[in-house]
Amino acid sequence: MKKEKGDVRIGNEEEGESKKADEQNSGSSESFGRLVEDYGLVGWVREGEIVKGKIVSLTGDEVLVDIGCKSEGVIPIREFSNPDELEVGQEVEVLLEKLEDVDGNIVISKEKANFLLKWDEIKNAYERNETIEGKVVGFIRGGLGVDIGVKAFLPASQVDVQPVSDLGSLVGKTFKFKVVKLNRKRRNIVLSRKQAILEERENKRQELIDTLEEGMIVRGVVKNITNFGVFVDIGGIDGLVYVTDLSWGRVDNPKDIVSIGDEVDVKVLSFDREKVRVSLGMKQIEPHPWESIEDRYKVGDVVKGKVVSIVDYGAFVEIEKGIEGLIHISEISWTQRIKHTSEYFKVGEEVEAMILSIDKENERISLGIKQLTPNPWESLEERFPPGKKFKSRIKSITDFGLFVEVEEGIDGLVHISDISWSGRVESPQESFKVGQDIEVVVLSIDKANQRVSLGMKQLVNDPWVNIEDLYKVGDDVEGEIVKMASFGAIVRLPEGIEGLLHISEIDEKHINEIGKMLKVGDKKMMKIISISPKERRMGLSIREYKRAERSASKGGKNKRREK
């Protein structure tokens, strides 16, 4: 093969070098002919040509090659790209540089032969903007050495699209490169892997734009993660997977699902070819979990799940990816009054619950955990039948009555009307204290609404039942003023019976302000002027009592006068 001359990088120098070579060859044609004859070369060879030879000897750093001359040529072993594979007798191609140097030795070169043999291929790749394959063989100042059949230089800035922190990781690997500079005279070849990558990406990108369709499933690499979603490179085009399309399940942070650099399969949800904008989905690759919900879960099933969210009214539990159920606060305990769900649950903990209902259309599942234990209300009436008396403590006091602990977690209500037969308890807070022990009797149990009615007045007989045996109209009684009103005063008698002392029955004189005559706590003698057992009413009169007193007093004086 005839050696070509020229420098592609800086311009065409082939013509100048060719002329120079012709002058040298012309001046030495006669001596060259004698050398050919003297050395006994087979065929016509000239300096600067590539010839074939055989390896006749391998020493530590040198390879002895016979090209058919009277003497062998010596080549440094470093000029061979595969020194470990060399064998004696192996045929190699070398460049005949000189038939005779100053010492009378033939000068041949494997490295220069390789360059000339590879030159046309490299030159064509450069001119046609094509890639060429090569193997990274080691470090060179400022970059890496690459074997493309000859030695070439890969600057560190041209190794990759992104900076490479460890260039040594590329040694021994084969890649495709672009030839970016070429100088035949200096045998200087500069490569760029970066340009090859960019071109390949652009080609793939254009191919993808031409072929991409909605519904396709493609492979991509996660490039960036944001709060609202994940950007995935699907081959030169970055598509966005919104956070809602990452998983059928709840996603609090996209980083919990993917990491930068992950290879993922995604589905094309929409593609704007004009703007090259792609919307992608990951969850759409898997079946929608609610489609066959009835095949996997039934009402009454006990399931395990993880608490993913806590709200005032309950806790959401993920029983599988994309399937969440709500444990309402009312379904946590049969007896405990839970003010906030956070008192009972923590996000991330695993719980066991029973399925109470499934609404496939609205994608809702109701769960309960109290159903995993016996309902104490079911057997409460067996332990506390109506009429049972027991002592317990007051848990709380309201305007309408007293809440009393029946057993742990279950309270009963003593309504204000069941505190006294008189029915005159206006403010329970004034008569009772929280924590106070009292005796009560069970009146009724409403299992469906989980209510227990208790009574206190029922512990004693109703005095109104036999009121006529205790009191009669005209009896004189002592009573205590327990309440004042504009129309009169409420008076309590010793047996707990209460009667009305009307303002008109306080004194014979007209009274405008009852407070000037009476106060709460006063004990006064008065006369019963009416009794109505059916209406549980009694009328009392201080005026009639005083009138009777005066009459009795006058009668006594008259008798004394008669005597």
**Res 378: pLDDT:** 87
Low-confidence ranges of the chain (pLDDT < 50): 1-33, 35-37, 39-43, 561, 563
Query: What is the strand order of the sheet 73-76 is part of?
Result: 73-76, 62-66, 50-58, 91-98, 107-109
Closest to 475 measured CA to CA, from 429, 436, 428, 527: 527
Which structural domains are found in the chain, ordered by start?
14-115 (2.40.50.140), 129-198 (2.40.50.140), 212-285 (2.40.50.140), 293-372 (2.40.50.140), 380-459 (2.40.50.140), 467-552 (2.40.50.140)
Dihedral sign from CA coordinates of 438, 441, 443, 444 = positive
Q: Which residues pair with 501 in a beta bridge?
A: 489, 540
pLDDT of residue 117: 76
SS3 per-residue string spanning 452-516: EEEECHHHCCCCCCCHHHHCCCCCEEEEEEEEEECCEEEEECCCCCEEEEEHHHCCCCCCCCHHH
Residue 528 CA to residue 95 CA, distance in Å, equals: 147
Candidates 343, 339, 366, 364; CA nearest to 353 is 366
Specify the pTM. 0.48
Q: What is the pLDDT of residues 450-484, one digit of tens each?
A: 899 999 988 988 888 888 888 999 999 999 998 88
Cα(398)–Cα(401) distance, rounded to whole angstroms? Answer: 5
pLDDT at residue 39 in the model: 47
Q: Report the pLDDT value the prediction gives residue 460, as an integer from 0 to 100.
A: 84
Return the H-helix or E-strand segment holding 180: strand 174-183
pLDDT score of 11: 34
Per-residue pLDDT tens over the stretch 111-125: 888 887 788 888 888
The pLDDT value recorded for residue 146 is 93
| Residue 45 pLDDT | 64
Report how far residue 412's alpha carbon sits from residue 408's, in angstroms, rounded to the nearest whole number.
Answer: 11
